[in-house]
């Protein structure tokens, strides 16, 4: 088994950490009928051609996604088997996107708060 020299390992670690540090973050809280949606609502993102796997909201209805692209992203929210989408902007720094869900004619609709 070959081992990396200490300097090579340090350089590889620095590159890995710098790519994470440059990543953007989209976070926020999701409400439905004036209250937090609670735990387990799925939130996925698509930024350009790159799709990011869904994360679950916590018990307060808060989500947190880490994305590497900046610009327009589309969030897909899945709640009780229904889905809705909303566009948000991603930056090099964190971007807050609080979302309000509504049921309209049996469809789930999302909008920014």
- Whether 4 has a pLDDT exceeding 90, the answer reads no
Q: What is the mean pLDDT of residues 25-34?
A: 95
Boundaries of domain holding 36: 24-112
| Strand 62-67 relative to strand 35-36, pairing | unpaired
Q: Is 69 within the bounds of a domain?
A: yes
- Token pair 């796997």: residue: 53
What whole-number distance in Å separates Cα of residue 100 and Cα of residue 50? 25
User: What's the CATH number where 64 sits?
Assistant: 2.60.40.10
pLDDT band (50, 70, 90) for residue 8: low
Count the domains in the chain. 1
What does the pLDDT read at residue 45? 97
In a domain, 7, yes or no: no
Q: Is residue 17 part of a domain?
A: no
Handedness of CA 47, 53, 57, 58 (dihedral sign): negative
Determine the average pLDDT of the residues in 9-30: 62
Q: pTM for the whole thing?
A: 0.78
Residue pLDDT, tens place only, 54-87: 999 999 999 999 999 999 999 999 999 999 999 9
Whether 44 and 51 have beta carbons less than 8 Å apart is answered as yes
For residue 53, is it within any domain? yes
């Amino acid at each position: 088994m070959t081992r990396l020299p200490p300097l090579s390992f340090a350089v590889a670690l620095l590159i890995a950490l710098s790519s994470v540090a440059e990543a953007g973050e989209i976070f926020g809280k999701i409400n439905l009928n004036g209250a937090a949606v609670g735990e387990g609502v799925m939130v996925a993102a698509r930024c350009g051609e790159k799709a990011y796997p869904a994360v679950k909201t916590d018990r307060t209805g808060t989500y947190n996604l880490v994305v590497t692209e900046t610009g327009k992203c589309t969030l897909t929210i899945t709640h009780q088997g229904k889905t809705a989408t909303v566009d948000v902007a991603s930056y090099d720094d964190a971007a807050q996107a609080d979302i309000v869900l509504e049921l309209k004619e049996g469809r789930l609709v999302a909008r920014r708060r």
